[in-house]
């Protein structure tokens, strides 16, 4: 975690000592978005969610943990259950935007559940643009072109009206 500012990490530790877990949770969410390759931040966030009595959310952030404790394993099972054991939904919920090499380097233990193995495979796949993504781009461009056309027609009508 050499990239993460020590000042922010210190504030998180202070928040945890003050039992202000909500603030620590929010800070960690921000850090994970900024430093997605720092798996240790995900572990800390999982710890906080577990302390807040949200085992499913803790499992979401512990899912990529290499050496899981029994509590972590149970929380990951709860997370899988909350996602309907669907690897695609689990991958989406993990929101892992980091380097895929990190997932390869984690070298998960061999006793993974079949769902966890599929999730790991999906995390390592190259993302492909879905139909929704393509339609979203086409829709946005259509709105932009329509706006320009109506603006031109409006200006033309104003001058010739």
pLDDT (tens digit per residue) in 50-73:
999 999 999 999 998 888 899 999
pLDDT of amino acid 97? 85
Sign of dihedral through CA atoms 19, 39, 98, 66? Answer: negative
> Residue 89 — very low, low, confident or very high, per pLDDT cuts 50/70/90?
very high
Distance of CA 120 to the CA centre of its chain: 14
At residue 124's C-alpha, the angle toward residues 85 and 89, to 5°, is 25
105, part of any domain: yes
Residue-range definition of the domain harbouring residue 161:
129-161
H-type alpha helices, 21-86:
21-34, 39-51, 55-62, 70-82
| Domain count within the chain | 2
Instruction: Compute the mean pLDDT over every residue in the chain, rounded to the nearest whole number.
Output: 87
154 belongs to a structural domain: yes
26 plus 93 within the same structural domain: yes
* Within-domain flag for 1: no
């Amino acid at each position: 975690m050499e990239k993460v500012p020590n000042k922010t990490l210190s504030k998180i530790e202070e928040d945890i000592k003050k039992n202000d877990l909500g603030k620590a949770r929010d800070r960690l969410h921000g850090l994970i978005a900024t430093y997605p390759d720092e798996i240790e931040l995900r572990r800390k966030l999982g710890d906080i969610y577990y302390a807040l009595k949200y085992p499913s959310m803790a499992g979401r952030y512990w899912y990529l943990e290499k050496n899981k404790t029994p509590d972590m394993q149970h929380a990951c099972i709860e997370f899988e259950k909350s996602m309907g054991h669907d690897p695609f939904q689990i991958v989406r919920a993990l929101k892992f935007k980091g380097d895929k090499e990190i997932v390869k380097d984690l070298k998960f233990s061999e006793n993974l559940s079949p769902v966890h193995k599929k999730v790991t495979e999906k995390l390592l796949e190259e993302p492909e643009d879905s139909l929704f993504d393509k339609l979203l781009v086409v829709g946005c461009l259509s709105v932009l072109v329509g706006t320009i056309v109506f603006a031109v027609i409006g200006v033309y009508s104003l001058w010739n009206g």
